Structure 1
Amino acid sequence: MMVRVLVTGTAGFIGCAVAQRLLRDGVEVMGIDCLTPYYDLGLKEERVKLLRGSNTFTERRIDLADGPETLAAVRDFLPDVVIHLAAQAGIRYSLDDPRSYTHSNVEGTLSVLEACRAVPVKHLIYASSSSVYGANTRVPFRETDRVDTPVSLYAATKRANELMVQTYSHLFRIPASGLRFFTVYGPFGRPDMAYFKFTKAILEGEEIDVYNHGRMKRDFTYIDEVVEAIERLMLLPPVDRLEEGDSEPGRIHADVPHRLFNVGNHTPIPLERFIHVLEDIIGRKARRRLLPMQPGDVVSTFADVSALQQAVGFSPSTPIEVGLAEFVDWYRAFYKVT
C-alpha cells in the first residue's frame, strides 16, 4: 500500500485508531491535531504517543480552521489521500459552546477542502455522523433519507460538512466519501460517551445517568470495524463521472464524485440491555438515576449498511458483548483499576 495519507484528528479516538492501522500496514502518515481541551488532554497525549513510535509518522499541531497553516501542511506532505476525522464532538456540549462547533467543524472542514482544491488528492474521506438523521423516524436509516431535521447544532454542522463537500466535489472534482458513523466505541474511547462514563461510575460505585428513563436504542459500532471500513474505502475513490446506466454505491449524483456511507453495526441495542451487559462484564450492578430525555438526543439509531457492504464487501458485526469486554479490559489496565 504505497500511499501517503494525511489524517486529521490523530489525538482523537477514531483518528488515532486509523493512523495506528495505517502505520502498521506500512503507510506514511502525517497527523494533524491541535489537542483541544474538550476532555482529558492526558488521554489525547497517550494516544499520540502510540503513533510516535513509528518512523513513518510525522505530526503537526495546528488548528485546521487556520487556512494558511493547513494548506502549508498539505503542500509540505503532498498526500495521496486525506482522511478528515478532526471535529468538535459531543451533542450536549453544543448547547453550551456552539461557536466551537462552527469553528472546528465548519471552518476546519473548509480549510481541508481548500487544501484539497489547491493540492489535488486521489481521495478525501471525511467523518459525518448518524446525528444528521435528526428527527427521522423511518428505520433503518438509509443514506437516501431526507436529513433536513437536525435536533442539535452538532448534527447541523455535520450536515453542513456533507453539503460543503458535495459542492467542492462538484466544482473542483475532488473525489470524496463521507462516513456517517453510528456510536463508535472501544479501547481508548471518548470519556464523554455513555459507555465510558457508565464503566467509570459502576467501578467507582457511583450512579449512572439513564436518560429517557432507559427507553432508548443505539447502533453501537466497534472501533476496529470502523477502521476496517475506512482502510477498505481509502483506495476505492468514486469515479469522476458515471456513464449513462452505471451506478456506484453511496453515490449522491451521477456527475459528482461524492458518496455517503452509513458505518454502523446495523443492530440497535436497547439501553437497558447495554447496561446489563456492562454489569455482567464488570461484575457489579449499576445504580441508576433515571432522567428525562435531553435536548439534542434521539430515541433510536439504526444503520442500513447495504451501500457499504456493496462497495467494499464488509460491514460491522462485532457483538456488544465482545466489544464492551475489550473496552472494560482496556479501561482497567489503563486506569489501573482492579
Structure 2
Amino acid sequence: MTTLVTGAAGFIGFHVARALLARGETVIGLDNFTPYYDVRLKEARAADLRARAGYSEVRLDLTDAGGVLDLFATHRPGLVVHLAAQAGVRYSLENPRAYLDSNLIGFFNVLEGCRAHPPGHLVYASTSSVYGANTAQPFSPHHGADHPMTLYAATKRANEMMAHAQAHLYGLPCTGLRFFTVYGPWGRPDMALFRFTRAMLAGEPIQVFNAGRMARDFTYIDDIVAGVLAIADRPPAPVAAPVPAVADRAAPLDPATSPVAPFAVHNIGSGRPVALLDCIALLERALGVEAIKDLRPMQPGDVPETWADVTDLTATTGCAPQTPLETGIARFVAWYLDYHGDPRGPEPGAADRP
C-alpha cells in the first residue's frame, strides 16, 4: 500500500515515515520545508528518509490546492497520515495567519484530495491543546473540547470538526489523534526539552513558567509512532444509520465517536503527568549540568497541567505508551550530543553534518 505522510521532514512525520518504511510500505513524503525553525534539521531528516527503499519525496505547500489534487491523482494513496501543520502554541500569538494558512486551508486541501481520490483511512494530527479550559482530569476524548485558549488549539479543533463533516458527507474514515507533549531524538528546537538542553549546555538560564508549578504528560516519540500506526490499521467502521431524531436520543452525542460518520478521536499520551521541575531534574542528571532557572509567570494561553486518558487507545489497539521519562530523556540527550556536539568538549563529526 502507498501511504502519503504530510510533514514528513517534521519531527513526528519523520519518525512515522521511517516506521512505515521499516514495515515494507511505499511512502510518499510531502513537506514544504518552511523555515519556522532551522531548515538544516529538516533537510537532515529528509536525507535519512531518501536513503531508505520505498521512499519518494514531494516538496509542496499544502496551500497549493491544484498541486495537492495532482498529488492525490498521481499516487492514489491507500492511507493518508496528515502530520503537516504550523505547530507551536506560543508562535500562534506572534504569527496567527500562518496557522490559518497551514492548519485550515492546508487541511481543507488534504480533505479535498481525499474526496477526489478516497484513501481507506485519513489519520491526522490534533493536539492536547484542544482541551483548553477543561479542568476535569485526566483529559478524555469523551469530554467536550470547545474552549480552546490559543488560535493554534482552535485550528486543530476546527480540523476535527471539518474531518467529521467530510466523513459524514463522503464516507471517508477519519481519525484524529490528540498528541501530548511529544519529545525525543530529532525533536523540534522550539520545544522545551530541546531549548532547556541547549541553554544548559551553554551555561545560560532556562525560562521556567508559572514558577515551575506545571505538569506535562510527556510522551516519547516511539510511543507516539506505535499509536499512530496501530490506529492507522484500524479505520472507524462505516455508519449506515440515519441521523437519530432528537426525541430518540437517550443522551448527548459522544465527542469521541459519531453516530453518523466513520469518525473517531483518540488521545496519545503517556497517561502519567510529570512535574516540570522533576523533568528538569532528570535532564540535569542526564547532562551532568545544574540548570539556572529563570522563574517566570504563566504565559498567555498556557495551562498548568496536561494528563491523557488513553483508555480508548489501549482498548482499540492494545497499544499503551511505555517509555519512562528518565529513559526517554537519556535517549534524547544522547542524540542531541551526537548530532549537535557538546560545547563542553570535542564535537566528533559535527563539522560534517548538515
Quick check: TM above 0.5? Answer: yes
Distance 1:144 1:40 in 2: 37
CA contact (8 A) 1:189 1:196 kept: yes
Give the equivalent residue in structure 1 for 2:322.
Answer: 317
Equivalence for 2:251: none
The answer to whether residue 275 in structure 2 is matched with residue 264 in structure 1 is: no
Query: 2:75 aligns to what?
Result: 77
2-structure distance, mates of 1:174, 1:228: 23
- The C-alpha deviation readout for 1:22-42, integer Å capped at 9, x for no partner, is 111110000110011100100
Equivalent AA in structure 2 for residue 23 of structure 1: L
Structure 1 residue aligned with 2:171: 173
Match of 1:292 in 2: 297
Q: Is the 8 A contact 1:211 1:294 kept in 2?
A: yes
Q: 1:189 aligns with which of 187, 192, 200?
A: 187
Alpha-carbon distance in structure 2 between the residues aligned to 1:250 and 1:146:
6
Shift of 1:262: 0.3
Q: 1:42 aligns with which of 36, 40, 43?
A: 40
Query: Equivalences for 1:104-253 in 2 at 5 Å?
Result: 104-241=102-239, 251-253=256-258
Q: Which residue is equivalent to 1:15?
A: 13
Q: Which amino acid counterpart does residue 145 of structure 1 have in structure 2?
A: H
Would the aligned equivalents of 1:131 and 1:150 in 2 still touch at CA under 8 Å?
yes
Distance 2:286 2:54 in 1: 37
Residues 273-328 of structure 1, C-alpha deviation per residue, up to 9 Å, x if partnerless? 00001001111100000000011111100000001001100121211000000000
After TM superposition, what 4+ stretches of structure 1 lie above 3 angstroms from structure 2?
none
| Aligned partner of residue 253 in structure 1, secondary structure | coil
Cα distance in 2, alignment partners of residues 30 and 19 from structure 1: 9
The match for 2:351 is none
Is residue 183–residue 221 contact of structure 2 (8 Å, CA) maintained in 1?
Answer: yes
Is 1:330 the equivalent of 2:335?
A: yes
> How far is 1:67 from its partner?
1.0
Distance in 1, matches of 2:156 and 2:258, equals 19
Q: Secondary structure of 1:192's partner?
A: coil
Does residue 61 (structure 1) correspond to residue 59 (structure 2)? The answer is: yes
TM-score (norm 1): 0.96
Q: Which has the larger radius of gyration?
A: 2
Distance in 2, matches of 1:54 and 1:74, equals: 22
Residues 45-98 of structure 1 show CA distances to partners (whole Å, capped at 9, x for unaligned) of 001011001231111111111111011111111110000000000011101100
Task: Please say if 1:283 is aligned against 2:288.
Answer: yes
Match in the other structure for 2:312: 307
> In structure 1, what is the Cα distance between the partners aligned to 2:9 and 2:52?
15
CA contact (8 A) 1:179 1:260 kept: yes
Task: Give the stretch that moved more between structures: 50-59 or 33-42.
Answer: 50-59
Provide the C-alpha distance between the structure 2 equivalents of 1:119 and 1:251, rounded to a whole number of angstroms. 26
Structure 2 counterpart of 1:90, from 77, 88, 93: 88
Alignment check: 8 A CA contact 1:250 1:307 kept: no
1:204 deviation in Å? 1.0
| C-alpha contact 2:144 2:255 (8 A) present in aligned 1 | no
Task: Give the whole-Å Cα distance in 1 for the aligned partners of 2:241 and 2:163.
Answer: 22
**CA positional deviation for 1:255:** 2.3
Q: Sort the Cα spacing of 1:68 and 1:98 in 2 relative to 1 into closer, same or farther, 3 A.
A: same
**What's the secondary structure of 1:18's corresponding residue?**
helix
Question: Letter of the aligned partner of 1:193 in structure 2?
Answer: M
Q: Which structure 2 residue ranges, 5 or more long, are not aligned? A: 243-253, 346-354
The alignment partner of 1:252 has SS state of: coil
- Unmatched tracts of structure 1, length 5 or more: none
Partners of 1:332 and 1:54 in 2: CA distance: 24
State the one-letter code of the partner of 1:164. Answer: M
Deviation sequence 1:87-139 (CA, Å, 0-9, x none): 00001110110000000000000000000000011000000000000011110
Deviations 1:177-203 (A, max 9, x none): 100000000000010010000011111
Tell me by how many angstroms 1:253 deviates: 1.1
The residue aligned with 1:26 is 24
Question: CA RMSD for the aligned pairs?
Answer: 1.3
Query: 2:142–2:256: 8 Å Cα contact kept in structure 1?
Result: no
Q: Name whichever of 47-56 and 127-136 sits farther off.
A: 47-56
Per-residue deviation, 1:251? 4.9
> What is aligned with 1:273?
278
Deviation at 1:150, TM superposition (A): 0.7
